[in-house]
Amino acid sequence: MSSSLSKAGSLSKAGAAQTPAGATSPWWRGGLIYQIYPRSYQDSNGDGVGDLAGIRQRLDYVAALGVDAIWISPFFTSPMKDFGYDVSDYRGIDPLFGTMEDFDALLARAHELGLKVMIDLVLSHTSDQHPWFAQSRTSRDNAKSDWYVWADPKPDGSPPNNWLSIFGGSAWQWDSRRLQYYLHNFLASQPDLNFHCPQVQDALLDVARFWLDKGVDGFRLDTINFYFHDKQLRDNPALPHDQRNASIAPMVNPYNHQDHLYSKTQPENLAFLERLRALTDSYDDRACLGEVGDAQRGLEIMAAYTQGDRRMHMCYAFEFLENRPLTADYVSQVFARLEAVAGDAWPCWAFSNHDVPRFISRWGLSAQAARCLPVLMICLRGTACLYQGEELGLPEAEVPFERLQDPYGIEFWPEFKGRDGCRTPMPWQSDAPQAGFSALREGADTWLPIDPRHTSLAADRQDADPSALLQHYRHLAALRRVYPALAQGSQEAMQAQGPILTFERRLGDQRLFCAFNLSPQAASARLPAGTWRAVASDLGGQTAPDTPNLALDGWHFFIAISED
């Protein structure tokens, strides 16, 4: 049959008639998650730092985006050496962010609006101010002496092995109380828990149970493959120079010189993940999203950690968080590799988060490319995660050295500027002081400066402009609801036709063809045989001529539904 094309349609007109019968799925499978970095979302009390009450004030805005869930970065009690990723009380709310009553109110309001709430659990390590560590370091024979990873020095007094910290230098810190080293894969003030100790596992599962009982809908699990270490403390081998990349650490960091075979991603982790999944599944409609931090084997780890229905519900790796641009060849290679290692693995794709430069700046995108790539993410098999400000098209902020807060950036400045540039406050009102983020008290300042370029992109200005990127994202969220094949269906026939990435999504009788020109130059690709009706015109989707050849302008896309 020759290819033909009927009149293009918009999302608003496509309607539920396209939905295959019985096409149901858990909310997280193919859902859209919106990440909120609480320090920078909305300040409700004028101290210059965002808080839980501020998030609650902005939930109507989030709901209007059409997302399924929010993921809130850590708000637990913490000395804030790593801005909440160093927890000193897993059951406490840091006063900087408010109270437990504030969290309960946020959770209740989110649920009223139909939003699921995922919280960020940091289980691989704690703060050195956590009571567990305070007790563990007092002696070698106390009740929590083996709750952290302790080791004797080598005979010459040097660290037990060659493991390195992501934040620079040795991963071992000397402790004069025990006359031993303790392991820290991140800051020296973030000692690693010893998951080989059963009591540690039980204690952490109790933490998860506490929040599940509170009513949270799931967890984003920080550095999920860092939980276990090699009990023999074997040295990591050197990594060949041609295999080094900056997906986990900047190239100026010697962390990239090692193949981290023994300091993380140990086989014992699978059994703990199964325990965590079983606990989560004992509650209705909850989910676990694991972060896999590995520059060489991220997809393979994701596959192992999401395999079957006893481990994590979903994981995201760093393939699309790298500096490497998204080309048709690269995306097709990623999915071919994922299919080869585990076709049933369930990924969660993100282009930006709180740890990497914003993707518009990272990839140097044009305005048209900034509209095309989010549509691609929504069309790919997997769950999608948006980072606050992404929907406004915020570029990476410029933060001068004297205003830096991130210890990572301070350590490696100026070759690596750290993570502050993607963490600056949200611009809500273009003409308001501090762009509407904070009504500062006298003597206070925003914890990070607001980039002047962000104020012209503020939410209020885009809300009033029908052509703004914010409106594009609102239409974007509707795409998967209108066409469930994009959320739940199989993904087939992915290939790179020059700069154009093409693939099909299928669910029941619903069949969609997707084509994305991931370059600035016009190109053409071949349409599959059949009768196709173009959709997604609300998103700027291109129509196609009645011919087997599909012509696409640079950074344009074409999505069509089969009418055969």
pLDDT band at 4 (very low <50, low <70, confident <90, very high): very low
pLDDT tens digits for range 273-285: 999 999 999 999 9
Residue 10 is predicted with a pLDDT of: 52
Query: In this structure, are 88 and 235 located in the same domain?
Result: yes
Helix then strand then coil, % of the chain, to nearest 5: 30, 20, 50
- Residue 532 sits in which domain range? 4-10+491-562
Instruction: Convert 327-379 into a string of H (helix), E (strand) and C (coil).
Output: CHHHHHHHHHHHHHHCCCCCEEEECCCCCCCCHHHHCCCCHHHHHHHHHHHHH
Domain boundary among 447, 478, 509: 478
Give the whole-angstrom CA distance, residue 383 versus residue 488. 9
Average per-residue pLDDT in the chain?
93
CA atoms within 13 A on the CB side of 130: 28
**Stretch 488-494: mean pLDDT:** 96
Query: In this structure, are 536 and 454 located in the same domain?
Result: no
| pLDDT above 70 for 386 | yes
CATH number at residue 433: 3.20.20.80
Report if residue 133 sits inside a domain.
Answer: no
**334 touches 319 (CB < 8 A):** yes
- CA nearest to 409, candidates 127, 126, 83, 184: 83
pLDDT band at 19 (very low <50, low <70, confident <90, very high): very low
Give the whole-angstrom CA distance, residue 491 versus residue 75. 37
- CA nearest to 223, candidates 357, 83, 123: 123
Query: In this structure, are 302 and 380 located in the same domain?
Result: yes
Hey, what amino acid is at 534? A
Query: In this structure, are 333 and 455 located in the same domain?
Result: yes
Residue 367 is predicted with a pLDDT of: 97
Give the whole-angstrom CA distance, residue 338 versus residue 345. 8
- CA nearest to 494, candidates 510, 477, 470, 516: 516
Q: pTM for the complete prediction?
A: 0.95
Query: In this structure, are 449 and 400 located in the same domain?
Result: yes
The rounded percent of the chain whose pLDDT value lies above 70 is 95
Query: In this structure, are 441 and 295 located in the same domain?
Result: yes
**91 touches 73 (CB < 8 A):** no
pLDDT band at 8 (very low <50, low <70, confident <90, very high): very low
Residue 537 is predicted with a pLDDT of: 87
Report if residue 486 sits inside a domain.
Answer: no
**Stretch 335-347: mean pLDDT:** 90
Query: In this structure, are 466 and 534 located in the same domain?
Result: no
Report if residue 17 sits inside a domain.
Answer: no
Sign of the torsion formed by the C-alpha atoms of 378, 27, 393 and 472: positive
- CA nearest to 468, candidates 357, 362, 370: 370
CATH number at residue 507: 2.60.40.1180
The token pair that represents 165 in the structure block:
């910290």
Residue 250 is predicted with a pLDDT of: 78
CA atoms within 13 A on the CB side of 499: 16
pLDDT tens digits for range 519-561: 999 999 999 998 999 999 889 998 877 678 899 999 999 999 9
Residue at token pair 């993410």 = 377
Residue 11 is predicted with a pLDDT of: 59
In a 3-state reduction of DSSP, which class is residue 168?
coil
The token pair that represents 135 in the structure block:
């007790």
The rounded percent of the chain whose pLDDT value lies above 90 is 88
Report if residue 33 sits inside a domain.
Answer: yes
DSSP character string of 204-249: HHHHHHHHHHHT--EEEETTGGGS---TT-PPPPB--GGG--SSSS
pLDDT tens digits for range 101-158: 999 999 999 999 999 999 999 999 999 999 999 999 999 999 999 999 999 999 999 9
CA angle 195, 201, 207 (to 5 degrees): 130
| pLDDT above 90 for 357 | yes
Per this entry, what is the length of the chain? 564
Domain boundary among 445, 478, 511: 478
Question: If you ran DSSP here, which 8-state letter would residue 121 be given?
Answer: E
Report if residue 173 sits inside a domain.
Answer: no
Question: If you ran DSSP here, which 8-state letter would residue 387 be given?
Answer: E
Report if residue 80 sits inside a domain.
Answer: yes
Residue 369 is predicted with a pLDDT of: 98
Residues carrying an active site annotation: 222, 291
Q: Omega of the bond prior to 414 within 30 degrees of 0, cis? A: yes
**378 touches 480 (CB < 8 A):** yes
Give the whole-angstrom CA distance, residue 44 versus residue 56. 10
Query: In this structure, are 367 and 506 located in the same domain?
Result: no
Give the whole-angstrom CA distance, residue 208 versus residue 457. 38
Report if residue 510 sits inside a domain.
Answer: yes
pLDDT band at 257 (very low <50, low <70, confident <90, very high): very high
Query: In this structure, are 238 and 381 located in the same domain?
Result: yes
Give the whole-angstrom CA distance, residue 365 versus residue 487. 26
Domain boundary among 478, 509, 540: 478
The token pair that represents 88 in the structure block:
């000193």
**409 touches 420 (CB < 8 A):** yes
Helix (H) or strand (E) holding 86: none
Residue 24 is predicted with a pLDDT of: 64
pLDDT tens digits for range 442-475: 999 999 999 999 999 999 999 999 999 999 999 9
Query: In this structure, are 425 and 511 located in the same domain?
Result: no
Sign of the torsion formed by the C-alpha atoms of 464, 480, 387 and 521: negative
The most confident of 41-45, 405-409, 535-539, by mean pLDDT: 41-45
How large is the angle between the packed helices 198-214 and 100-112, nearest 10 degrees? 60
- How many domains does one find in the chain? 2
Query: In this structure, are 345 and 425 located in the same domain?
Result: yes
Report if residue 467 sits inside a domain.
Answer: yes
Question: Alpha carbon 89 to chain centroid distance?
Answer: 23
Hey, what amino acid is at 564? D
Helix (H) or strand (E) holding 467: none
Give the whole-angstrom CA distance, residue 438 versus residue 442. 12
| pLDDT above 80 for 18 | no
Query: In this structure, are 535 and 459 located in the same domain?
Result: no
- CA nearest to 386, candidates 348, 437, 341: 348
66: phi then psi, degrees, rounded to nearest 5: 85, 15
